[in-house]
Chains A and B, each alone.
Chain A
Amino acid sequence: MGQVIEGRDGPWEMVIGLETHAQVVSKAKLFSGASAEFGAAPNSHVGFLDAGMPGMLPVVNGVCVEAAVKTGIALNAAINLVSIFDRKNYFYPDLPLGYQISQFSDPIVGKGHLDIETEAGPKRIGITRLHLEQDAGKSLHDQDPLRTFIDLNRAGVGLMEIVSEPDIRSGEEAAAYVAKLREILEDLGVCDGNMEEGSLRCDVNLSLRRPGGPLGTRTEIKNINSIRFIRQAIACEAARQIEILEEGGKILQETRLFDPDIGETRAMRSKEESHDYRYFPDPDLPPLILDQTYVDQIRATMPEMRGDRRRRLERDNIPAANVEIITSSAKSMNYFTDMSENFEDKILASNIMVNEIMPRVFYRNSNPDIERLRPSEANTIINMISSGNISGRQAKEAFEFMWEEGKSAADVVAERGLAQMSDDGAIKALVDQVVAANPDKVAEYRSGKTKLIGFFVGQVMKASQGKANPQAVNALLMARLDA
């Protein structure tokens, strides 16, 4: 595999493990009743627990537990029926309790795996664990020359930390892993996957070794919030480590930050000291115990994952380009399923989805406007096409009117006179009319210029104001002219 980096005196291999923090989609925080919503006024989404006030106690949010179980199932992982919340002790101004409530020795989700696509084919990346923990607040260092400002809105928001095995060997694999993980989280609806807002962020653990050789010392690059930056950070950090190693230097085990502006990683000053987190079970929280029936119930109601959906669409012979677009988000996949329900011609449905629905309903992908053009309405239209009630062109118009005017499919078709003429008698009358009006063209046709059929079809369609079913027109014309 093309995974080695040619160094000055021999090849190097990267060993990468990722820790991904995914913010759980929930109304309230992991242990308090304050809102978990992003982007509110500073310190307006802060409960007394989130501010570390004396005597305040945590109570776990059931939705966050459910999210962890769902994700664990999707990652083919063991769900631990008994897990423990631990305190991870350290001081930082945006950590109001002086400890983070996390899970250390007994996480809610154990070992699992995730399959990614690489240039060399599919590859399985091991999942070490998934645990629930609180997010920290935000420190703003650039507001005042002498002080750091603290906003605790995010303090206590529920996070799932998903830790991979060190199975990743390149920036591309890391990117594929994160993309696949994001896809799963979005499909489950447990995380919105928005990396810019920090809903999904990665720590990269990276070391280098001679292929097959012993593991080297690793560094941790913290809090990378885009897939592109992950790739870049890995490239920069690998280059930095190779340079040090080839000079005969040693890699320090340290925490680093990636600066995308200058394309470099640098050591974090505030995390320099070695940590001793003094984990111990949080005595404010009894063990998190799940019933097997609870887990089974979640398992039974898991939404279809995108990989499965993709395979299903491919089985229906839908063109690959359409599959890619339709499966780009959980919501578009669900829309397509609803829209094409009880409809045989999945290829036609996929074309309508890609050409008519996606540019309208999903033009803002993160926040689609499904109410404005519901899948059931789109379903009505595609059924009209297949039953020959309207033409493709009429369907196009219908979607436009429905989108602009917010009316139902039936109303738009009726009001705009879009219903197709498929009554043979009526079309036959128009055919007779056109044949009678063009005796010279009929003669030419009959003398062998059969290409003129197009002219006749066009005339009949025009006479029907575009409402005639073109196939029926064609058949009736041929019958009449060839008679």
Chain B
Amino acid sequence: MSLDRDTVARIAGLARIRVDADELDGLAGELNAILNWVEALNAVPTDGVEPMIAVGATRAPFRDDVVTEGDQADAVLKNAPDPVPPFFTVPKVIE
């Protein structure tokens, strides 16, 4: 598997990271180097092996249905870049 410019651009779009056109080739080269190296894994036989999705704790613990947090709009908004309290804001979205 080899990444081309278009794929890098698509992935960058998914990740919401701006990549300028003149960076695409260099980035594709770097990512390919890593991916080629990672492909050594294909040599490991894993037929019938269950994927490991959890380490340690074997089951999700349950929380009681109790309100323990809230009424802290000030704290929640304190670090916001462009707040109009009590709201966060972003550039206008058209649905």
**Chain A interfacial positions (CB closer than 8 Å to B):** 26-28, 32-35, 41-48, 51, 59-65, 84-85, 91, 93, 139-141, 143-152, 257, 268-270, 276, 278, 281, 283, 285-289
CB pair B58–A289 under 8 Å, yes or no, is yes
User: Are B59 and A33 closer than 8 Å at their CB atoms?
Assistant: no
Cβ contact within 8 Å between B92 and A42: no
Q: At the interface with chain A, which of B21-29, B30-38, B39-47, B70-78? A: B70-78
B14 touches A276 (CB 8 A): yes
Interface size bracket, B side: 35 or more
Contact A43/B62 with A48-B69, A141-B95 known, Cβ cut-off 8 Å: no
> CA of A436 to CA of B58 in the docked complex: distance in angstroms?
92
Closest to B14 in A: A276
Chain A residues with CB below 8 A from B1, complex form: none
**Main SS at interface, chain A:** loop
Q: How far is the CB of B83 from chain A (nearest CB, A)?
A: 9
Shortest CB distance A295–B (Å): 14
A33 and B60 contact, Cβ closer than 8 Å, known pairs A46-B73, A151-B87: no
A62 touches B64 (CB 8 A): yes
- Tell me the smallest distance from the CB of B24 to a CB of chain A, in Å: 19
Of B69, B76, B84, B92, which one neighbours A141 at CB under 8 angstroms? B92
Q: A43 CA to B65 CA in the complex, in Å?
A: 20
A44:B70 contact, CB within 8 angstroms: yes
Complexed CA–CA distance, A64 and B61 (Å): 13
Please determine whether B88 and A149 come into contact, CB atoms closer than 8 angstroms: yes
Q: Does A289 lie within 8 Å of B84, measured CB to CB?
A: no
Is A287 within 8 A of B16, CB to CB?
no
Known: A43-B86, A47-B70. 12 other contacts (CB 8 A): A28-B65, A32-B69, A33-B69, A93-B93, A144-B92, A147-B91, A148-B92, A150-B88, A151-B87, A268-B95, A285-B60, A286-B54
Distance, CA A151 to CA B62, complexed state (A): 27
CA distance A48 to B68 in the complex (A): 11
Contact A147 B84 (CB under 8 A): yes
**Could you say which residues of chain B place their CB within 8 Å of the CB of A34?**
67-70
- Residue from B56, B62, B67, B76 within 8 A of A62 (CB atoms): B62
Main DSSP-derived SS at the B contact region: loop
> Contact partner of B66 among A27, A93, A152, CB < 8 A?
A27
Can you list 27 A-B contacts (CB < 8 A)?
Answer: A28-B63, A28-B65, A28-B67, A32-B69, A33-B68, A42-B87, A43-B73, A43-B77, A43-B86, A44-B73, A45-B70, A46-B70, A59-B61, A61-B63, A61-B64, A139-B93, A144-B92, A149-B88, A149-B89, A151-B86, A269-B95, A276-B14, A283-B54, A285-B60, A286-B57, A287-B58, A289-B58
Cα A268 to Cα B93 in complex, Å, equals: 12
Cβ of B53 under 8 Å from chain A: yes
Q: Given the complex, which residues of A lie within 8 Å of B73, measured CB to CB?
A: 41-44, 46
A85: which B residues are within 8 A, CB to CB? 60
A35 to B76, CA, bound (A): 15
CB-CB under 8 A from A27, the residues of chain B are 65-67
The answer to whether residues A65 and B89 also contact, given A44-B70, A46-B72, A47-B69 and a CB cut-off of 8 A, is: no
User: Please, how many angstroms separate the alpha-carbon atoms of A42 and B76 in the complex?
Assistant: 11
Shortest 3 CB-CB distances between A and B: which pairs? A33-B68, A62-B62, A63-B65
Q: Does B58 lie within 8 Å of A42, measured CB to CB?
A: no
Q: Is the CB of B60 within 8 A of A148?
A: no
Tell yes or no: B49 within 8 A of A by CB. no
Residues of B within 8 A of A32 (CB): 69
Contact A281 B53 (CB under 8 A): yes
Residue of B16, B61, B84, B90 with most chain A CB atoms under a 10 A cut-off: B90
Known: A43-B76, A268-B95. A286 touches B59 (CB 8 A): yes
